[in-house]
Structure 1
Amino acid sequence: MLAKLRLDAVLVQAVIAGALSFAHLHDLAAAAGQAGWKAWAYPISVDLLLVASWRRLRSLRPAGEPVGAAWFWFAVALAASLGANVATAGLLDLGNVPDWLRILVAGWPALAFLGGTLLVHSPGPVTESQTTAAAEPVEVPDVERVPDLAPKPEPEPEPEAVESPEPVPALSAPAPEPSPVPVPAALVEHARKVADEHRTRTGNRIDTDTLRARLGVPPPLADAIAAQLA
């Protein structure tokens, strides 16, 4: 129980430093013409920018991301806090604040808003889940490669030589007509798109060899597709 109630010296020091800096910023803003609730808003704005830039530094540094912008806005907020502490120590006449200091105090809200916006919307470190998702390959179906659907002709047996005392004239038999090659309808539709694209690009009708190279199919299947496209 006593360990839980024991105060940390660093925490106490941070509370004291924050309270004094808060009071100095309020006094400087009030002396520069920001009266009422506006004088209390200035120290809150400075402290928020200081905390936001420090949190941004802690998130970017372990990931190896550039921290130049976060350091810049941290230095701006720290300079505003230290400047108020020094200015209220008697170096400036708070009853007669110079014009340049009034301009700085009046322009601080816009500067703090710009810094906070840039810190929030700057690209953050890449998480492990995003890296894993980017590394996974995306499977894309290969629509141009079609398996060989043409039946392979079986080798014909060589005719045996017949010894005959008398020469017999060879009778030429008519060559059998090649059986039509089945062509899937999806392949014909895809070939038609390839032919239209070729005609649009070159102005000429696509030939069989070019069609076969674009589709990656064997010659018999390319001839059958070209016949259907004619």
Structure 2
Amino acid sequence: MRPALRPDAVLVQAVIAGALSFAHLHDLAAAAGQSGWKAWAYPVSVDLLLVAAWRRLRSDGPSRLAWCWFLVALVASLGANVATAGFLDLANPPALLRLGVAGWPALAFLGGTLLAHASSPDRAGDRMPVPPAPAAPAPTPTPESEPEPAPALEPDTAPALPAADPAPAVTVPAALVDHARKVAADHEARTGNPIDTDTLRARLGVPPHLADAIAAQLA
């Protein structure tokens, strides 16, 4: 079930105050020479400008544009309430009052247009700029420490290296030695020079240590 409607004291007070302000604006416009529907349109214009400026303040935050037109509408509404309280002779209104009432439609149209169609950069420019956060200081480089030199070994404490074993004797087969002699004789017959170890190793296709052993036997 929907809850029953209950009167709200704040809402009732707002309706009464709005009705009184509306009536005062109507009476002031009628006294300034605005008759018929024109006199009723003035309070509507003032109240709408006041509401538009207040809505702009609530939605976009404080700005010079919204505060300017909010104060203009508030002065117009408050001025009408004070003027109709006997401070002015509404039967013979001053020329300045007639001028203000006659120029109000253009002023209200300008304010409503600016409040409704102001671009975002303008709204951003009205706010206070936020200073950038300070940059973090660069880290100070720490000097690199040099490695400590290793302690030198005393001559008498240095460990003695084991003596290298003598290279084992290479045994060359007799058939390989005979073949090497033939190769050496053929090389000397063709070139006139005795064969060297590198050439002998290349002709026989043997490893270096075996070629040295064969050359030693051919010498």
**1:13 corresponds to 2:13:** yes
Aligned residue among 85, 110, 118 for 2:106: 110
Q: TM-score, normalised by structure 2?
A: 0.54
Helix, strand or coil at the partner of 2:4: helix
Kindly provide the amino acid, as one letter, of the partner of residue 66 in structure 2. Answer: A
Aligned length: 125
Q: Distance in 1 between matches of 2:51 and 2:116?
A: 12
1:93 and 2:89 are equivalent in the alignment: yes
CA shift at 1:7, angstroms?
A: 1.3
Secondary structure of the structure 1 residue equivalent to 2:93: coil
Deviation at 1:2, TM superposition (A): 9.1
SS of 1:34's partner is coil
Shift of 1:54: 0.6
**1:128-139 equivalence runs, <5 A:** none
Please say which structure displays the higher CA radius of gyration. 2
Pairs within 5 Å for 1:59-208: 59-61=59-61, 66-124=62-120
Partner deviation per Cα, 1:165-191 (whole Å, 9 max, x = no partner): 9xxxxxxxxxxxxxxxxxxxxxxxxxx
Q: Percent identity?
A: 75
What's 2:166 paired with?
A: none
Q: CA deviation at 1:123?
A: 2.7
Distance across 1 between alignment mates of 2:199 and 2:73: 114
Q: CA RMSD in A?
A: 2.1
Q: 1:89 to 1:2 in 2, by over 3 A?
A: farther
Q: Which residue identity does 2:93 align to in structure 1?
A: V
C-alpha distance 2-71 of structure 1, shift in aligned 2 (>3 A): same
Indicate yes or no: 2:21 matched with 1:25. no
Partner secondary structure for residue 4 of structure 1: coil
Written as runs of structure 1 = structure 2, the 5 A alignment for 1:32-43 is 32-43=32-43
Structure 1 residues 104 and 6, CA gap change in structure 2 (3 angstroms): same
Deviation at 1:4, TM superposition (A): 3.2
TM-score (norm 1): 0.51
Cα distance, 1:47 vs structure 2:
0.5
Question: Where in structure 2 are there 5+ consecutive unaligned residues?
Answer: 125-197, 201-219
Match of 2:183 in 1: none
